[in-house]
Structure 1
């Protein structure tokens, strides 16, 4: 039996860290296609409520620390109550306590496991909580879309952010292994990996010359924007990606070709 495929305007989409930077671009991209969107936030209450207020019929802002399973479960319950149906699509975008500043990064001889663990809590524990909380509703619908946000630093670690890259590499592994477990239930699991984006809160500390060097190394001659990456996230949720799972698509203007 073929599993059903929902159009974008039939989906209930939850975007973690969906109020600012890349998350806000992803939220807006789904809203522009008629999807209903749960804008998850942890500290950005004003921005989340402002964004939701622009789409009063299709968006709701809900606070939750994605590292806390009880808070995540409560968020899913609130979302289902608000829209009258469970979440069908999740985007694991939230970035916990990290900024892209190569001058301030911890080097290999001094980085602590606590720094690694802090990023694993955001990039693995958080997505794990989100996916598992979403599964009952997805399985009932025989439809689900999970899109994880990765990085092109797997292939091209131009700046060795040890903690961030290791945690995202683990998320890539989870993307591929979860695809095998969840595929029979009609749930796809994919990853979209960007490079340094111009510009988000996380990349605000990056010197201008770094952006210029990246742009010069791409076939498109430009640094990828949050909106461009968000387009690809929407693709993975759309009916056009119904046969794709366990994949990692790099969106960086062609900087990394792997």
Structure 2
């Protein structure tokens, strides 16, 4: 078995793939010739519209990634539809969240329920998709798991305590899983962005925040979802076959490492 597959040989599953960043992730992998499973929770119309653009390559499946049984069923449906196991998982799904610092709970208001909701969706979801993918990845001797993170670890400028805690835990899981799964030729990496212009989640972000970030960034602009999505392709490609347990920050140079 080859230790790497070209993108056009891969079956990629993108969680939360119907809207926002997820849509751009789906488009990036479709553009490179991969077959793509578009996971969605409530955005059926958007998911089906994407499938209609590439009916031979794309397939939409509804599942709550925090529900292990639903995730397992989704992987079975994907394999049945495409006739092969999922080789690549992009963990993008985000529990309901609005990127508006003024509306987020501060230190006095933060509850464990806020944090638990993010841990359940972000970390639980990634754990369940990884576990569901392992049998098929081991079968073909190849696997790529790409987790979506945030640059707020390094630059905690807004009180997204719950979101950042969930993503930080996901980074830890990324690194421990990379060590555990390396012998199976399965790499596990993270790609972390800052505020993206514009997704549903960032729609409530004030314009002056975008302007401030652009002015503070070496590229003098805010990264777009399409630009961010392209960077994830590296971790699925043969070029990254010796890279695992890493966190690549894609935010126009705002945060270093």
The TM-score, its normalising length taken from structure 2, stands at 0.99
| Contact 1:16/1:92 (8 A) holds in 2 | yes
Q: Secondary structure at the match of 2:3?
A: coil
Q: Does 1:10 align with 2:9?
A: yes
Corresponding residue number in structure 2 for 1:69: 68
Corresponding residue number in structure 2 for 1:229: 228
CA distance in 2, matches of 1:53, 1:160: 39
CA distance in 2, matches of 1:17, 1:97: 11
Q: Which aligned pairs between 1:74-89 and structure 2 lie closer than 5 A?
A: 74-89=73-88
CA distance in 2, matches of 1:67, 1:249: 25
Corresponding residue number in structure 2 for 1:31: 30
| Contact 1:3/1:186 (8 A) holds in 2 | no
User: Which blocks of at least 5 consecutive residues in structure 1 are unaligned?
Assistant: none
Q: CA RMSD in A?
A: 0.8
Deviations 1:37-75 (A, max 9, x none): 000000000000000110010000000000101110110
Instruction: Find runs of 4+ consecutive structure 1 residues off by over 6 angstroms.
Output: none
Following superposition, the deviation at residue 160 of structure 1 comes to 2.0
Corresponding residue number in structure 1 for 2:204: 205
CA distance in 1, matches of 2:255, 2:66: 31
Corresponding residue number in structure 2 for 1:44: 43
The TM-score, its normalising length taken from structure 1, stands at 0.98
CA distance in 2, matches of 1:104, 1:217: 23
Following superposition, the deviation at residue 4 of structure 1 comes to 2.2
Corresponding residue number in structure 2 for 1:128: 127
CA distance in 2, matches of 1:160, 1:146: 28
Q: Secondary structure at the match of 2:249?
A: strand
Q: Does 1:22 align with 2:36?
A: no
Corresponding residue number in structure 2 for 1:245: 244
Q: Secondary structure at the match of 2:133?
A: helix
CA distance in 2, matches of 1:235, 1:55: 22
